[in-house]
Amino acid sequence: MKLDTLYNRDCIAGMAEIPAGSIDLAFADPPFNIGYTYDVYEDRRAADEYLDWTKQWGAAVVRALKPTGTFWLAIGDDFAAETKMIFQRELGLFCRSWVIWYYTFGVNCKFKFSRSHTHLFHFVKDPKNFTFNHDAIRVPSARQLVYADARADAKGRLPDDTWILRPQDAAHSFTPEEDVWYFPRVCGTFKERAGFHGCQMPEQLLGRIIETSSNPGDTILEPFGGSGTTLIVAKKLDRRFLGFELSKNYADQIHSRLKSTKIGDPLSGAAEPTVSAPTTANGKQRKTTNPTPPNPIAPATKRPRKKSAPTLQTPSMF
């Protein structure tokens, strides 16, 4: 099978042709079985049928992984528990992290809390032997930033396992020193949006996963191409890649995205929290009346107590 290629075909049939044990990192963002409208795939199946299909493509991923390989899975609430069990109990992977990716512009719900997160499971084949480039993703610690603690590790700390962005907060509530990473969902108005697929993932999120769990030159597998984010980011970060996408329409558009992407191109979206409030296609942003908001994690200074009744304020994170 030719590397650096996106195939317009069913991923289970396609993955059967990948040599066993040849993939360093696989990332899958499958349909969540929630009735989402794709152009070819029908996203509303009986639960048993969906889970049986998950076992089939999951087994194909696991077969393709090297003994030192890593698998990241994005999945919604509805099947997160069952899917985690399939990969751990039936397919023999080990779960290293259960990351929550929290985003705004989630699904507005009427009779339940609005959905604003996706589960990201970080699985490995061998819990004693896998790639985890922790120095590539370190962030400053509170010991360094807030307490000036001499015991602080100068290299910073690993990020939390909740990855957040509330774009409306970014300018006012977060500073460059914050130690959580923020990734907005790629909304219709954002400049990053390719425009043909509603499930496009942010490049910065894939960037973190690929940089942590693989090295330049490694091979990345993406069974569910979608808008092509995984493949685009793999190429930009100088990884080899192999992908599948059922829809001809999506596959054609991924091909043209890949054509216009070069190794070393910067990832779309901002990695820096303070500027990660997304740019819209026409650069639209609300004018701020307070260009220098207070730093919420700066060392506390004594402020006079207000006598007035407390007002309701937007918390910085939740």
Minimum CB separation from ligand SAM for residue 124, in Å?
A: 21
Nearer to ligand SAM, 224 or 241 (CB): 224
Kindly list the distances between the CA atom of residue 19 and the CA atoms of 13, 14, 84, in Å, as whole numbers in the listed order: 13, 11, 25
Nearer to ligand SAM, 122 or 145 (CB): 122
Cα 165 from chain centre: 12
Nearer to ligand SAM, 106 or 296 (CB): 106
Nearer to ligand SAM, 31 or 140 (CB): 31
Kindly report the backbone phi and psi dihedral angles of residue 40, in degrees, each rounded to the nearest multiple of 5, phi listed first: -120, -50
Nearer to ligand SAM, 145 or 209 (CB): 209
Kindly tell me which residue out of 58, 76, 226, 269 binds ligand SAM, with binding defined by CB under 6 A.
Answer: 226
Count the alpha carbons within 13 Å of 311 in the hemisphere toward its beta carbon. Answer: 4
Kindly list the distances between the CA atom of residue 9 and the CA atoms of 15, 17, 26, 103, 220, in Å, as whole numbers in the listed order: 10, 12, 17, 31, 17
Cα 258 from chain centre: 19
What is the footprint of ligand SAM within residues 5-24 (CB under 6 A)? 10-11
Longest dimension (CA), the chain: 71
Minimum CB separation from ligand SAM for residue 286, in Å?
A: 27
Of all residues in the shown chain, the one whose CB is closest to ligand SAM is: 226
Nearer to ligand SAM, 145 or 201 (CB): 201
Radius of gyration of the chain (CA): 21
The interface mask with ligand SAM, positions 232-271, x = CB under 6 A, is ------------xxxx--x---------------------
Tell me the site size for ligand SAM, rule CB under 6 A: 22
Q: Which stretch binds ligand SAM (CB under 6 A): 83-91, 101-109, 113-121, 225-233?
A: 225-233
By CB under 6 A, tell whether 61 contacts ligand SAM. Answer: no
Kindly tell me which residue out of 224, 239, 242, 267 binds ligand SAM, with binding defined by CB under 6 A.
Answer: 224
Nearer to ligand SAM, 140 or 208 (CB): 208
Packing angle, helices 248-259 and 229-236, rounded to 10 = 20
Packing angle, helices 77-85 and 47-64, rounded to 10 = 50
The interface mask with ligand SAM, positions 28-57, x = CB under 6 A, is -xxx------x-xx----------------
Minimum CB separation from ligand SAM for residue 318, in Å?
A: 26
The interface mask with ligand SAM, positions 200-219, x = CB under 6 A, is xx------------------
Nearer to ligand SAM, 199 or 317 (CB): 199
Q: Evaluate whether 144 touches 156 at the Cβ level (below 8 Å).
A: yes
Minimum CB separation from ligand SAM for residue 282, in Å?
A: 23
Which residues lie near ligand SAM (CB under 6 A)? 10-11, 29-31, 38, 40-41, 197, 199-201, 223-224, 226-227, 229, 244-247, 250
